[in-house]
Structure 1
Amino acid sequence: MTKTETFVFYLVDEFAHIAMSCAVEPLRIANLVSGKQLYEWSFASENGQTALASDGTVMLVHGGFDKRVRSDRLFVLAGSNVKNHLSKPLLAALRRERSHGARIGGLCSASYILAHAGFLDGMRAALHWFYHDAFVEEFSNVELVPSVFVADEKIITASGGTATADLMLHLIRETHGEDLANQVADQMVYNTVRESSAEQKMSVQSRHGMRNQRLTEAIKFMSENIEEPLSTKEIASEVGISTRQLERLFTRYLQSTPSKYYLEMRLQRARNLLLQSERSVTEIAVATGFRSTTHFARVYRGFFGVSPTAQRARLT
C-alpha cells in the first residue's frame, strides 16, 4: 500500500499566491492522475484562522503555528515585506518543529526567515532574486545561489513563483518516478520543467539575444565590483580587449556605453538595498560605489525621479 505523504504549509502574511498554488496543485494533480491518495496537505497561519496573500486574497487555514501537526514535510511560504512578518510565534514554531525532526523547507522569500533562525548556516539556498542583494549583506554564512530551487540540502528551498512547481515535480519524481511527474506536468500544461541547476533570471545572453563572451565577462566583472567600481579601461583590460572594442560591444548589443550600463547596475543595486534592507542611505551609497551621499542622492533622483529617502518612505 502506498504511503500518503503529508505536507504542512506555514503561510506568512503577504505570502506569494502564485507560489502557494504552484506548491499545492502538483500534489492535487498527482493524486488525480494516479488514482491514489499520494499526498495530503494543510495550511497554518499565525492567527490560526486566515492568511493574507500579497494580492489581497484572504485564505482560510486549518490552524495556527502554536499547534503541532504531524507532517512529512513542512514548508514556510512567504512573499512581500518578509521582514515585517518575522514574528516570535513563527520562529518558535519552526524551532519546535525542527527539534521534533520535521523536514523543513522554504518557498519564495522564506529563505530569509530560515536564515534568520539559523537553519541555513553553511548551506546552499535559493531565494527569489528580488531579495538577493539584501540577503547576501546580512547572511554571509549562507551560500545563496541563483538556482530556481535547491533540493540536495537538509533544508530545501525554492525561489518562488513557478520555481515552486519545479521543486514539487522534482519531489514527485523522486518518490513516484518520472512517468508520474511527467503526467502531472502535462496536466498543468507545463512543458518547460526546470532542473535545480536552472537559474532564475535570464542570462545576459538570453536577455539581449547575444553570444559575445567578452561582453558577458565584462558585465560579470561589473557585477562583482559594485562597491569599488572599475574604470572602462580596467574592465577592457580584464577581458583582453581595447577600450574602444568594449565600447563598440556595448553599443552594438546593449545600445549603451560601458559607463552608463555600469552606473545603472549600481543604482539598481542601491534601489534593492533601500527597499530590502534597513541600512542607512550613507551606507548604501558606500556599498554601491558612491564616495559622497550628496552625489549619490543627486544621481539617484536623476535616474529614478525620486530621492533615496523618498524611495524608502514609500514603503511606510
Structure 2
Amino acid sequence: MERFSHLHLDGQQKETITYQNQMIHYGLYQPRPEAYFFSDIPWHWHDEFEFGYLSVGSMRYKTNNQECILHEGDGIFINSGSLHYLQPLEPKKDIRLQSQFFDKSFLAGSSGSLFDIKYIAPVKEQRQLEMVPLYGSNPEHKEFLDKMQEAANLGTERKDFFELRLQRIFSELWETVYSWAMSTKKDRDSFNSLEDEKIKQLLLFIQAHFTEKITVGMIAGAIPISERECYRLFQNKLDITPSEYITSLRMQRAQELLMHSDKGVLEIALETGFGSSSYFGKLFKQHHHITPKQYQKLSGIIS
C-alpha cells in the first residue's frame, strides 16, 4: 500500500503512478491528509483507470465537462487520460480519500489481446466518459462501492492469492464500467474531443512557462487561437481564467519549495514567478489563511 504527500507530475500534467509490484500494475494509495490536502489538487491526468473512495469528508471533482461533489461513503471512477481536478471542501485533517489504480494490462494482459480490443479499449476510447460519481445512498452504486472496498482490503492485507482475487473483483466491476461506456455513445455529438486536446495543449504551454512573465496572448499563440477563444476554453472547460490557472501552478510549486527546501520566502517568490515576496505573501495568505513562514514552520523547515 502506497502513502504519498503530493502528486508526481511531468511537464504535461501527467501523474506518475507507482506500483508496489511492477509485475502487477495495480496500486492502492492511502494519501496522508495532513500533507496532501493542504490545498486543491491541481489539474492532472494519468494513463491508469482510477477508482476512488471517500471514507471521511467532502470533495469536489471536476473534469473538462463534468463536476460533482462527493461525501463520506461516496466514490468515483476516473477514465484513463481524463484531465481532472480535486477540491477539498473541509479542512485537511477531515479528509480521507483512498484510490485504486490499474492499467489495461492488469485486466487484459498484453496490448492488442482479445480482452484489450473487446473490453478495455472501448472504455478508454470513449473520451466523453470522463468520470462517473458513485453515491453510497444509491443501492446500485452501493453494491459497486462495496466491491471496491473488498478489493482495497485485499490490496491492504496482501494475503495468498490476493492478486487473483483482485483481478476477479475488478473484472466483475468492469462489466458495469463497460456498460457506462456503451451508454455514452449516444451522447457522442455533444462531446468535443478537439476542444479537449486544445485545452491540454494550452495547459502544457503554461506548465512550461508559468515561472516567466506570460500573457494570454502568448498562451493563445501556442496553438494558435485568438485570446477570446483562449478565455472561452478555460472558462468552459476548467471554469477558471488563464491567469487563475497560472497562479494555481505557481502556488503549487511554491508550496513544494516551502515544504521541501530551506529557501527563503523572497527566493521562492522570484523562482515561482510571483515577482515579490509581498505579493506572494498576500496571495498565499488569501489561499491558505496563513503566511508562507507559518507554513514553513508547520512543515518543520524552520523552527
TM-score band (shorter)?
0.3 to 0.5
TM-score by length of 1: 0.40
Q: Larger Cα Rg: Structure 1 or Structure 2?
A: 1
